[in-house]
Structure 1
C-alpha cells in the first residue's frame, strides 16, 4: 500500500526543465514486467525484475529509488552510476529528450526515479541484460549474469544427422586423394574439379569474392587455419562436406552459399563471422541456402557478428523452391546477430538444440508457407524468438513449446503444425536447458584435424 501511495504522489513530469520534461505513463496502469531498483543505498545494487514504465522513445522509467537525485535546484547532484551487464552507461544527467530520442545508454536520476536507455536502444524489460547501479560512487558495480551449471558435453561421433543423409548420402571426398593447401591459388585449383578429393586447408589464406566448389569434395580446416575475405560457393554441385573452417569478412557475398540445385551438403564445426560496423549492405550473410538447393545439414557452427546470419530461400517470388530446401540445422551457436537465425521461405526445415543469444531482431523466421520443426532450442535475448508475420505470408511451426525462451517472445500468427521429420535424430537431441553449455563447448572450428 505504501508503494501505491508513493506512486500516486510522485512527480512524474521532470528529468530536465523546460521542453525536456518527461511525460511517462502513470505506473498504476502499467502491466509490463520490467526492472525496479532495490531499496538500499550503498554498494552494488540491481535494477531487479519488478515494474517499469515506458517513457516514450528509448526511455524507460524505473520507480522508487531509495534516495532523491537531481532536481530543478540541483540538476547534477546525483552520484548514480548505471551499468548494463557490467559496462557503464552514460552520460548521466542527460535530458529527457535526449534519453527518449537518442538513447544509447543515456540516463538521469531525477528525484526518486531513474530514466534509462539501453546501450543499443532495446527494451530493458525484455532484452535479458543485467542492470546495476551505485549511489555511493563505487566503480566496481558489476553484477555478473548467472552462470549456467556446466554440462559435460557429449563426444561427437562425426556422423551426419538429418537431411544430408536422406534420399542418398553425403560422403564428400571419401575415397579420393588427400591434399594440403596453403595458398589461395592452390585452394582454388583443388576445389574446382568434380573429382573426389579431401582438401586440408593450412594457415591463413586471403582473397576476395568466392571459390566455386565442385562435387565430391571434403574441405577441412586444420587447427589455426582461416579463410579471410573469400567465401565458398557450392553452385549446382553435390556431395560436399565443409568442416572446421574459419571464414571471416567476406565482402558482398555470404561466407558459404549453397544454391542452384546443389544437394547433399554438410557444413559442420565452422566459425563464420564478419562485423556489424559497416551497415547492412557491406557484408551479406554467413551461411545461405537457396535456389532449389536440397538435402542440407548445418551443424555445430558458430555464426556471429553479422546482421543476417543464415537465410534458407532467397526471395518471395522463388516458388520453384517449393518441395526443395530440406535443411537440418542443429547445435549451432548464433550470437551478436541481428536476424535470420535462420530464416526460411518455402522450405522444410528442422531446427533443434541451437543456442541463439543476443539477437536484436528475430531468431527463426518462418515465411512463405515454409514448415519448420523446432526441438529444444534455447533463445536468449531475442526481440522475437520465432517470427512468422513478415514477407508476403507466414509459414507454419511445430514444436514451439519444447524450446526455452529467456528474455524472448514468439510472434507466430498461424496454427501450430504437427510435422516431425521422419529421420532419426532423438539420439542426438539433448534437453533445452543443457543447450547453452553444450553448444558453446562444442560449436565452431574446434576440431583437431
Structure 2
C-alpha cells in the first residue's frame, strides 16, 4: 500500500509528544474537559485534542464539543480515561505531527509474516509467534522512522505486525537528521520492540540504517527479513589500556536481546557495509573502530532462536552473556543458532558465557590472512559456557586445526564446556576435544527439543540457498 502524502492527511491525526515525560495533551494546549464532559471551544474553529499519556487525536472543531471517542472518530488509548484540551485557532500554529502509519493491511494466507519459530529454544515452552494473533487493526506498513516508532508504540504490547517497506534511516530528516552528539545518537537511534510483536521486512530489500533494535525485558518477539546495517558510533572512545578489544571502544549493536524471552531472529542480514572498517582512518596507531556488536544476547535472556541469518563483514559479532561477573546469567541464556551464514566475521560467532547454547548446521567462511575482517576465531567457549555443537561447517582459509576456529575464551579458573558431533573444518573432522581443542565436554544438559539437523555435507549448499534477508514471502 502507498503512504499518504502529508498534504492529503485527514484532519484526525495520531501523534506522540516529543516531551521526555508522558503528557496528556500537546504542548501549548489547555485542558477543557475529562472524557464524557464538554469543551466550550467557541464560535471559531480551534485545534482540540483527545487522549492521554502521549497518545492523542486532534481535530479542528468549534462550539460545544463532547469529549468522546465518537466525536474524534478514534480511540487513541482504549480502556483508559482520556482528556480533552484546546489548542490554537485553526490555521494557526499546530503541534508537530508524526505522519501516521498506512491504514492496516491483512497479510494473505501463506505469507511468512504469520509463521512461528518451528525449532530451537524459541519453540520451547509457550513457543514464539510474535504478532501472529494481531487483528487487522494492528497490522502496519511503515517506510519512515516516524511511522515505525508510532507503530511500535500504538499497541502497547498487544499483538502487532509491523512490516517495513524500503529503507528506514534513523538519521534521516524525518527523525531529526544527522546525529549531533553521542547522547543524541543514543536517543534517536533506538528502535524498542514491545512484547507480542512481529517486525518484518516487506519485499526483498527492507533495511534499517543508523538504528539499533533493542528487545529488552519483553516476551514473544519475532524479527525477520530485514537487512540491518550495523550502527556506527559517531564518537568512539580511545582507551590505550584496552588492547584486548583494539583500543577503540564503540557503543551500539545492530540488535540487542536484553533480559527478553521467546525471541525469534530469522532470515535477516547483519552487515557493516557500506561503512566497513577500511573506510575509517588510522588514529593513535590503530584503525578507528566505530562498530560494536552485530547481535548481543545477555542479562538472563531465554528461549531465543537465531536462524537462517547472514552475518557478514564484521569484527565482534555476537556475545551471549555480557561479562564473567554477571553470574545471575547462569541457568539462563538458552539460545539456538542454526542455519546461519557467517561470512568475513573476525570473531564471536558466537562467544558464550554461562548459556545453554545449541549450534547446528551453521556455515562459516573466512580467511585468517584477509586484509579486512581477518578470521580470528568463530566459537568462543567462555566462563561456564555450555555449548552443544552439531554438524557445523567451517571453510576458513589458513585454519589448520580445531583451535583456529574454537577458542577457549575463559581462563584457567573460569572455564566453559563444549561437545560436538559431525562438524568439519576444511573438509576434515573438526576435532573438538583433540590436541588443539582441549576444552571440557561437561555441558551438563541435553536438548529439550528435536532439531531438524542435516548432515554437514549438505550444510553449505542449504545455507547459501536459504540464509539472509529477501528470501521470504511477505505481502
TM-score by length of 2: 0.58
- Mapped contact 2:306–2:336 kept (Cα < 8 A): yes
Paired residue secondary structure (1:285): coil
State the alpha-carbon separation in 2 of the partners of residues 341 and 237 from structure 1: 24
Give, in angstroms, the shift of residue 281 of structure 1: 3.8
- Mapped contact 1:345–1:369 kept (Cα < 8 A): yes
Give, in angstroms, the shift of residue 387 of structure 1: 1.5
The residue that corresponds to 1:332 in the other structure is 340
State the alpha-carbon separation in 1 of the partners of residues 160 and 124 from structure 2: 22
State whether structure 2 residue 430 is matched by structure 1 residue 430: no
- Mapped contact 2:410–2:416 kept (Cα < 8 A): no
Paired residue secondary structure (2:425): strand
Give, in angstroms, the shift of residue 162 of structure 1: 1.2
Give, in angstroms, the shift of residue 291 of structure 1: 1.0
- Mapped contact 2:379–2:405 kept (Cα < 8 A): yes
State whether structure 2 residue 142 is matched by structure 1 residue 181: yes
* Deviation digits for residues 285-327 of structure 1 (CA, Å, limit 9, x no counterpart): 1111001111100000000100011111111111110011000
List structure 1 runs of 4+ shifted beyond 4 angstroms. Answer: 407-411
- Within a 5 Å distance, the mapping from 1:363-382 to structure 2 comes to 363-381=378-396
The residue that corresponds to 1:256 in the other structure is 255
State whether structure 2 residue 277 is matched by structure 1 residue 276: yes
State whether structure 2 residue 238 is matched by structure 1 residue 243: no
Paired residue secondary structure (1:189): helix
1:305 to 302, 313, 325: 313
Paired residue secondary structure (2:170): strand
State the alpha-carbon separation in 1 of the partners of residues 152 and 467 from structure 2: 25
The residue that corresponds to 1:405 in the other structure is 425
The residue that corresponds to 2:50 in the other structure is none
State the alpha-carbon separation in 1 of the partners of residues 229 and 466 from structure 2: 19
Structure 1, unmatched stretches of 5+, are 1-156
Give, in angstroms, the shift of residue 424 of structure 1: 3.2
* Backbone CA RMSD of aligned residues: 2.0
State whether structure 2 residue 157 is matched by structure 1 residue 194: yes
1:414 to 439, 463, 472: 439
Change (3 A) 1:418 1:249: closer
Give, in angstroms, the shift of residue 420 of structure 1: 5.8
State whether structure 2 residue 123 is matched by structure 1 residue 160: no
TM-score by length of 1: 0.61
2:296 to 288, 303, 307: 288
Give, in angstroms, the shift of residue 207 of structure 1: 1.2
Paired residue secondary structure (2:212): strand
Give, in angstroms, the shift of residue 434 of structure 1: 1.1
- Mapped contact 2:319–2:348 kept (Cα < 8 A): yes
- Mapped contact 1:301–1:443 kept (Cα < 8 A): yes
2:463 to 413, 417, 439: 439
Paired residue secondary structure (2:149): helix
State the alpha-carbon separation in 2 of the partners of residues 320 and 397 from structure 1: 21
- Mapped contact 2:227–2:269 kept (Cα < 8 A): yes
Give, in angstroms, the shift of residue 168 of structure 1: 1.9
